[in-house]
Amino acid sequence: MSGAQIAAQVAAALAQAGQATGAGKLSATLRKIASGPDAGWRPGTDQYAYAETTVVQVQRRVRDGLAMTERTVRMLLIDPTGPVPAKGDWVAVGVLPAAVTKDTTWARIAEVETVAPGRVPVLFKAMLEE
């Protein structure tokens, strides 16, 4: 099985995870600063470009250093076949690109981990800023 086939299966599994919880597929809009034409992005009405992706939202408890202070961070498991998220991008969970308004609530991506065995991304894990 190729990496692309695995990525397609992971994308389908993320959509199925939403179905299993009863809420259905959880879509999100990824917002990047537009920097020229890119075939994967639909230009917005401002300096940003927006793209739809499928996500699963999770909460994770992490400890900060030796102080043993715990905090809860919000993370997204992101479809590997859609747009590639990067640190500093913004995401609106549960909002499709066509529904973005000036009042849309955005969360900034603090860190992205790419799971890519054999150099083919099969999952993106994004930690969101608080």
- Dump pLDDT digits (tens) for 52-104: 998 888 887 777 777 678 878 889 999 998 899 999 999 999 899 999 999 99
Which residue range forms the structural domain that includes residue 75? 3-36+43-128
> Whole-number mean pLDDT of the chain?
82
Per DSSP, the three-state class of 109 is: strand
Judged against a pLDDT cut of 80, whether residue 48 lies above it is answered with yes
Rounded mean pLDDT, 18-40: 70
Which two tokens mark 37?
Answer: 């034409």
The pLDDT value recorded for residue 67 is 67
Per DSSP, the three-state class of 10 is: helix
The alpha-helical segments, DSSP class H, found in the chain are: 3-20
The pLDDT value recorded for residue 39 is 41
pTM for the full predicted model: 0.78
How many domains would you assign to the chain? 1
Rounded mean pLDDT, 6-15: 81
